[in-house]
Amino acid sequence: MTDVEPILAELRSMANPENVAGMARYGINPENTLGISVYDLRRMARRWQGDHDLALALWETGVHEARLLACFIDDPAKVTPEQMDRWAADFNSWDICDQACTSLFDRTPYAWDKALEWSKRPEEFVRRGGFALMAALAWHDKTAPDERFEPFLAAVSAASTDGRNFVKKAVNWALRNMGKRSLGLHARAVQLAAELKASPDRTARWIGSDAYRELTGEKVLQRLNQNITVPRANL
């Protein structure tokens, strides 16, 4: 069994209670949280890059920063669908959800299927994970054809009335990232944003209005016309 105690001891030595309080104000669950920055965790992760067994052991500790570290060191080639579901069931904060999905899960062969599957789940952070995967795939998978994103646009429409804060923001994020990927997807995303913008549902209107404003802005249009088709992540 992988011994994680020396790593946990190092993490605890870096704890910053003031940061924990600040994280809580931004909606990050303060339980079992040490207040270590993502920057410092990514630097630590270089020491154990690709250590799948260590990643699994760190996740099982339940310590917030240990779980983030697990996301940064795990080997996507060794991640299984069962692991993805187990970890998703443990999501209790948007940052854990987003880092797992955009730093690890999106690089697995199962990302496309899990994105759609999780987008239909009732749990707030599992559903968010589905849309975080969609946003990440629009960013990272540079070879996927536009047609592959069509089911994601349908998923955005289906979830557009979910008023839970961390779901609606991820739905919006996915729509915006798909719309910034290519001229073809841009047209589809703008069309969907316009439809949502006119919805009688308050959440759908917010998602549509915010996405429409960005996707029809000069900066996005200029980037697309210059054939810069893959946006940076908006985490």
For helices 111-119 and 150-159, give the axis angle rounded to 10 degrees. 20
Q: What is the mean pLDDT of each run of 10 residues along the chain (235 residues)?
A: 91 95 91 95 97 98 98 98 98 97 98 98 98 97 95 98 98 98 96 98 98 96 75 43
Q: Where are the alpha helices (DSSP H) in the chain?
A: 5-13, 17-25, 38-45, 52-60, 64-73, 81-90, 94-103, 111-119, 124-140, 150-159, 165-179, 183-197, 202-215, 218-225
CATH number, domain 80-227: 1.25.40
Question: What pLDDT score does 121 carry?
Answer: 98
Type of residue found at 126? V
Question: What pLDDT score does 227 carry?
Answer: 65
Question: What pLDDT score does 235 carry?
Answer: 40
Question: What pLDDT score does 10 carry?
Answer: 97
Question: What pLDDT score does 129 carry?
Answer: 98
Nearest-angstrom CA–CA distance, 212 and 123 = 27
Question: What pLDDT score does 95 carry?
Answer: 96
Q: Is residue 159 a contact partner of residue 167, using CB atoms and an 8 Å limit? A: yes
CATH 1.25.40 residue ranges for the chain: 80-227
Question: What pLDDT score does 230 carry?
Answer: 46
DSSP string, 26-37: TT---TT-----
